[in-house]
Every structure is written in structure tokens, then in C-alpha cells.
Amino acid sequence: MTALLEVNRLCVEFQTRHGCVRALDDVSFSIAPGETLGLVGESGAGKSLTGAAIIGLLEPPARLCGGSIVFDGQRIDQLPDASLRRLRGRHIGSIFQDPLTALNPLYTVGAQLVETIRTHLPLSAADATARAVQLLEETGIQGAAARLGQYPHQFSGGMRQRVVIALALAAEPRLLIADEPTTALDVSVQAQVISLLKRLGRQRGLAVLLVTHDMGVIAEACDRVAVMYAGRIVEIGPVREVIHAPAHPYTAGLMESIPPMTGERERLLQIDGAMPRLGATPKGCAFHPRCPREMARCRTERPELLPAGASRAACWLHDGETFR
Ligand code: SF4
């Protein structure tokens, strides 16, 4: 299927006192309508920065320094701020970790929904109100009509995140960027919100970029996954393959550190060491100081994404040359 979003060789850098630091390096992926792509990695890997770059919300001193972002055939990384804001409001919805940042505590949920709907869609106040009720119902809020008159603080955390999802969908966007949408919620509520996102994404043919540090969320909600490490994608492929047959040693380590669903594991395995700081990325493969399968070549040559079964992995283990 033709991609709705194409991110090509995206680079982001920070200007610091000690010079320029590359925070995202050569990040490429695409998402088709109706597809959910997960971006997973440790904190600082660059996954949230990727989401922010796509919606044009990079905060200085971060800035785009290479690559392109194409939405529905149109390059959007060079749009003037006003055009990008319009596009963001109308065609790209976003959900963040803390629902309170997306909601104004001084206005009722209904007023916020109706205003967003009427800003982007040519509907009367009555039709916009009916649409707001329908959106709240779709996100599983009981007694939706009565709750329109309530303020954000009158909703529980999980219900507030449902309101934020309704708000993100109010303008009928085609792309949804969800950055750790369940991290602030109780575990029992997390699963409900994930299955809601999955259902709404499929029903509406939305392209979804789901940013998370949680492989469990990826397994539950995504069609494909891109694993990030030190500002780069190190593995990308269908969720099932990446989870069951990880091609990159870092992904394999991430999988090992997830608690098993059944049975007991004495001690969770951990990947030794820590991800390098920005500006201190090792030469060659950035993962080599932590990699149990490191070879001489890994210390000097940086691997690009190479075919690895149904996935692609930035690892010399998948280069036929290595074993000749
Ligand atoms: Fe490990 Fe080398 Fe592969 Fe990097 S390229 S992940 S160091 S085997």
C-alpha cells in the first residue's frame, strides 16, 4: 500500500557549547494508512525526538539538519510554521503521556471538543456537539452526553486519556502520533487504552506512529516496529518477526529483559552497560561496547540496515561478506 508518511534519512542536531551533536542520524521509515508502526528504545534513543520532528515541534536548540518528511506526497519539513500548524491541527493528531497537558483545566470537555471540531470541520454548533458525543462514545466513555459539561479534573486518568484520544481524532486526522500514551496510567487501564487505539486506528484507516519504551505495548498494538539505539534505527520489521526472531543483538537484549508472561524467570537478563551519551557515540557500531557478539569490524565500520529475514538490521552479523 502507498505510504501516507515517509521519513527519509532524517537527521536532527543540537548546537551545544562544545559544537554540534547529532541526536537523530539517518532515520528512515514509512507508515501506510491503517498501519501502526511502533518506535521503541531506551530513554534518550531518539524516539520522542523523531515524533516531535514529524509534527514540527522540535524545541531549540534541536533542529532538522538533513533528510525529508513527506506526508501524503507533500514534503512538510520545509513548510512555514502557519501551514504546518494547520496541517497538524487538521491532518495529524497527537497524544502525549500526560493527558493534562493536552486539556485546558478551565474549560469543559465538551467546549474543548466542540471548539476543535468547529475549527477544522464546517459544522454548526449543534452538529459539532452531536459529533463530540459520538467521539466520546467511540472512545468508550459512558454517559457521553452528560459528561460533555464536566471539567478534565472530573475524569479519572484513564478516562482523561480517552478524552485526549477523542480530541486528537476530532478533526478526523489521517496520521496519529502517540508518544508514550499509556505510561502514566495504571497497568489495568493501559491495556484498555492500547486496545482502544488499535481499534480506532483500524476502523478509521489511520496511520499511527506509537512511541514507547515498552515492548509489551509494541507486541499488543503494532504491525511493524522500529528499534532505536543512540539516535538510529537498528532494526525494523514486522512485530512478530522482531519479537520472536530478533535480528539485532540489542533487540535480542531488549526481549530478554521483558518479564515472561507465564512461568518464573529467576532473574531478568540485562544488557550490560548504558546507552552512550549524546555526542559520545562510539565509532563503528554504536552498540559495540555492550554487544556480546562484537567483532573487530564492529569497532571501526558503522553498519547500515541490512536485510535480515523479514526484517532489516544494522548489524554486521547480517552481512554475507563477514562470513566469507
Ligand atoms: Fe554487535 Fe557488531 Fe552487530 Fe554491532 S555490528 S550489533 S557490535 S555484532
Q: Given ligand 1 and candidates 298, 305, 319, 323, which is best to mutate, with the most ligand atoms within 8 Å of its CB? A: 298
Cα–Cα distance, 160 to 95 (Å, whole number): 11
Cα–Cα distance, 175 to 97 (Å, whole number): 18
**Angle (CA) 303 305 311, round 5°:** 140
Q: Would you say residue 280 has pLDDT above 50?
A: yes
- Nearest alpha carbon, ligand 1 atom 7: 288
* Full-model pTM: 0.92
Ligand 1 — pocket residues by CB below 6 A? 248-249, 285, 287-288, 291, 293-295, 298, 303, 315-317
Contact 247, 316 (CB under 8 A): no
Mean per-residue pLDDT over the chain, rounded: 91
pLDDT per position as a tens digit, 203-232: 999 999 999 999 889 999 999 999 999 999
Phi first, then psi: give them for residue 67, nearest 5 degrees.
85, -175
Q: Looking at residue 300, what DSSP letter applies? A: T
- Say how many Å lie between the CA of residue 259 and the centre of ligand 1: 24
pLDDT per position as a tens digit, 45-93: 999 999 999 999 898 899 999 999 999 999 999 999 899 988 988 999 9
- State the average pLDDT over residues 134-160: 94
Beta strands in the chain (DSSP E): 5-16, 19-31, 36-40, 62-71, 74-75, 92-95, 175-179, 207-212, 224-229, 232-238, 306-308, 311-313
Residue-level pLDDT at 324: 41
